[in-house]
């Protein structure tokens, strides 16, 4: 009874554990890279918004984002798309932001109740 089977089993367990640790490290590295890319894209978006929106328009957009995050993100994407396509002349002021919000706002269903 030399004990070599136990040594072989132990070596196999060590090898499997090392493979698991390497896979975890690779997974974390790719997650960190994705997070860094998302942060960079967010920073670029914020820079574009600062460039093309007046302070009042940015305040209005931030207010919208706090109350309706999804809609606020949609408006931000629209402004960024307009800026990147070159269709913006000058900055968007508060009045233009109000108009843009009205245009992008989904149609609301109205219920009129009439009493007899």
111 lies in some domain: no
For the segment 87-114, the average pLDDT, to the nearest whole number, is 83
Q: What is the count of structural domains for the chain? A: 1
74 lies in some domain: yes
Contact 44, 38 (CB under 8 A): no
Containing structural domain, residue 24: 4-104
CATH number for 80:
1.10.8.140
**Is residue 58 over pLDDT 50?**
yes
Contact 82, 112 (CB under 8 A): no
For the segment 58-75, the average pLDDT, to the nearest whole number, is 91
Alpha carbon 113 to its chain's center: 41
114 lies in some domain: no
31 lies in some domain: yes
pTM: 0.59
Q: Work out the burial of residue 45: count CB atoms within 10 Å of its CB; fewer than 13 is exposed, 13-18 middle, 19 or more buried.
A: middle
112 lies in some domain: no
The structure tokens listed for 51 are: 């460039």
Q: Which of 14-23, 33-42, 83-92, 102-111 has the lowest mean pLDDT?
A: 102-111
SS3 11: helix
Separation of alpha carbons 94 and 60, rounded Å: 7
Q: Can you give the pLDDT at residue 55?
A: 92
110 lies in some domain: no
């Amino acid at each position: 009874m030399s004990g070599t089977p136990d040594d072989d089993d132990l070596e196999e367990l060590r090898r499997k554990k090392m493979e698991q640790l390497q896979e975890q490290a690779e997974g974390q590295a790719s997650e960190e890279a994705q997070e860094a890319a998302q942060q960079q894209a967010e920073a670029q978006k914020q820079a574009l918004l600062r460039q093309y929106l007046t302070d009042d328009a940015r305040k209005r957009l931030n207010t919208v984002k706090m109350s309706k995050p999804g809609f606020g993100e949609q408006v931000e994407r629209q402004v960024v798309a307009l800026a990147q396509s070159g269709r913006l002349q000058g900055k968007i002021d508060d009045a233009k932001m109000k108009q843009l919000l009205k245009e992008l706002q989904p149609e609301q269903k109205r219920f009129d109740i009439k009493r007899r």
